[in-house]
Chains A and B, each alone.
Chain A
Amino acid sequence: MNNNLYQYLLQLGDNALILGQRLCEWTGVAPELEIDLALSNIGLDLLGQANQWYEYAAELKGGDATPDTIAFLRDAHEYRNVQLVELPNGNFADTILRAVIFDTFNLLLHEALTQSSDQRIGAIAARAVKEIGYHARYCKNWTLRLGGGTEESHQKAQKALNDIWDYAFEALTPGPVDHWAKEAGIGPDLEQVKSKWEATLQQVFHQASLQIPKPGFVDRKAKSEGIHTEHLGYILAEMQFLQRAYPNLQW
């Protein structure tokens, strides 16, 4: 098995799965019914994407591996998502700011992946990129509304941005697997993605009258070394409960 490719697929799949799982927590309790439906839509897209990345990963791994064994039967240190997506939903501003930072990256990443030298990755990305385009637009529009809405919403949005900004860079900081992917023509040069990402976000935040905090860089190593926040363990405990409590069954 090409372990680099496998790890790269886990990065893609795990980001989608964990963010999708987080969005499931909003179901039934969003600020408005329309928002509830939109967040469910985004969650569904992400879970579907995770499933496709895992299908590919499971084929590479061979044996008894399936998308479900990959999703449900690893321990926290084996997940390759960035820390940003495992942060708690917080209030609606926390969720939206987390989303606008991540989705802006995710859209640029998937646009680049449509050109991947790996045709399977290119095909999955080509489908996903349309969905992620919608996610990015949705979160951008809400960032503008919250930033430019009321004083309270502005404060909440600014606080959310301040709180999570130092989680923003992990996705854009290349680890060994990203370097491999770039060399193999499978994935993009993250330095290039980063400059577009910064330009896009600067524009959005400017339009939303939000100040970008000083880049207090923290070297986060979830996607490269599996060093996560304390939150991931709880996410997995909940998500994996049935598979762990009643192993080897069909559901």
Chain B
Amino acid sequence: MQDIDVKSLETAFQDRIDQEIKIEPRDWMPEDYRKNLIRQISQHAHSEVVGMLPEKNWLTRAPTLKRKMALLAKIQDEGGHGLYLYSAAETLGVSREEMVRDLLSGKAKYASIFNYPALNWADMGVIGWLVDGAAIVNQVALQRTSYGPYSRAMIRICKEESFHQRQGYDICLQLARGSDEQKRMLQDAINRWWWPVLMMFGPHDSASAHSAQSMKWKIKRVSNDGLRQKFVDQTVPQLEFLKMTAPDPQLKWNEERGHYDFGEIDWDEFWNVVKGVGPCNKRRLAVRNKAHDDGAWVREAANAYAQKNN
């Protein structure tokens, strides 16, 4: 194609974005837009799937029938989110097999938060409340993302995520009203998850590799730092209601800014976990790889059977 043609296509494309018209699978799009979206959506899908593991860890030990059912239903929703995000990414011309292969080889990333361990029952509450809470703040912004299939997937996912968050907070409330041991569990879980959750919003805007272009293409709608602030502002009152504390001595209301101030994230830890050197990176990937390898003969059997009976 002539350069001039590409230029005019790009201009038309950016015009559509600027007019808030959604980009659909058959529309022309810049190759980098496509790649950027595949990266982001598949990463999101992988996060849902790997995110099943920390919660699965407590599923068989859930303390009541009601909690066990709610947790199983929540994990199942996450698997479902993974499925429709993979489908959304497939509209961009990449297959689920390729995406899964990249996850299993370690080439593709998933949310670093799931590389932290779930160590006591309160983690099931805190993951729902804080991790899903942070995910919602991200995803609400993504409901308006410029790519149609991704935007629609986000709208559907957000509804279920808000339910998960309430469910998580309900576990926390119950523990906060409980015995000293239960309060200790809750505080311990908050202490361990607080900073990793703030890291979920990514590096500072100034240090974010994909941010500027993504904002221009409206794949991303609000900056990392903006979303992080929003999350802290909405979460602190919930934390106070539980009569729990955050492991951040600098966390306090700033009257002038109309926002909470908070301390600096340990960026060394952030980059370490992103690069694969976190508490559970190896274990999470090993579990996914083993499940995939152990399941190979089952998938082969299903294919062979389908072919014979066609």
Binding site for B on A (CB under 8 A): 17, 21, 24-25, 27-37, 40-41, 43-44, 47-48, 50-51, 54, 67-68, 71-72, 91-92, 144-146, 148-150, 152-153, 156, 238-239, 241-243, 246, 249-251
Contacts and interface: CB of A to CB of B under 8 A. Distances in A.
A33 B49 contact: yes
Contacts of B56: 24, 27-29
B65 A68 contact: yes
A150 B299 contact: no
**Candidate in A28, A41, A144, A250 with the most chain B CB atoms within 10 angstroms:** A28
Contact of A33 (B83, B174, B304): B83
Interface stretch (B15-23, B176-184, B208-216): B176-184
Interface string B250-268: 0000000000000000000
B301 A239 contact: no
Nearest to A144: B305
Contacts of A51: 65-66, 69
Interface string B269-310: 000000000000000000100110011111111111100110
| Interface majority SS (helix, strand, loop, mixed), chain B | helix
A30 B90 CA distance: 22
Given A37-B79, A40-B72, A28 B53 contact: yes
Contacts of A37: 76, 79-80, 83
Given A24-B72, A68-B64, A33 B301 contact: no
Size bracket, chain B contacts? 35 or more
18 contacts: A24-B56, A30-B291, A31-B298, A32-B298, A44-B73, A44-B76, A67-B65, A68-B64, A68-B66, A72-B63, A72-B64, A149-B305, A150-B297, A152-B300, A152-B301, A243-B63, A250-B177, A251-B175
A32 B291 CA distance: 8
B52 interface: yes
Contacts of A41: 76
Interface in B174-230: 174-175, 177-179, 181-182
Interface of B: 49, 52-53, 56, 59-69, 72-73, 75-76, 79-80, 82-83, 86, 121, 171, 174-175, 177-179, 181-182, 287, 290-291, 294-305, 308-309
A44 B66 CA distance: 11
Contacts, number: 141
Contacts of B305: 144-145, 148-149
B75 A250 contact: no
Contacts of A91: 294
A150 B298 CA distance: 9
A150 B301 contact: yes
A150 B72 contact: no
A34 B64 CA distance: 27
Contact of A24 (B59, B178, B295, B302): B59
Nearest to B185: A246
A251 B297 CA distance: 41
A153 B300 contact: yes
Contacts of B62: 242
Contact of A40 (B75, B175, B298): B75
Contact of A71 (B49, B65, B75, B171): B65
A71 B60 CA distance: 13
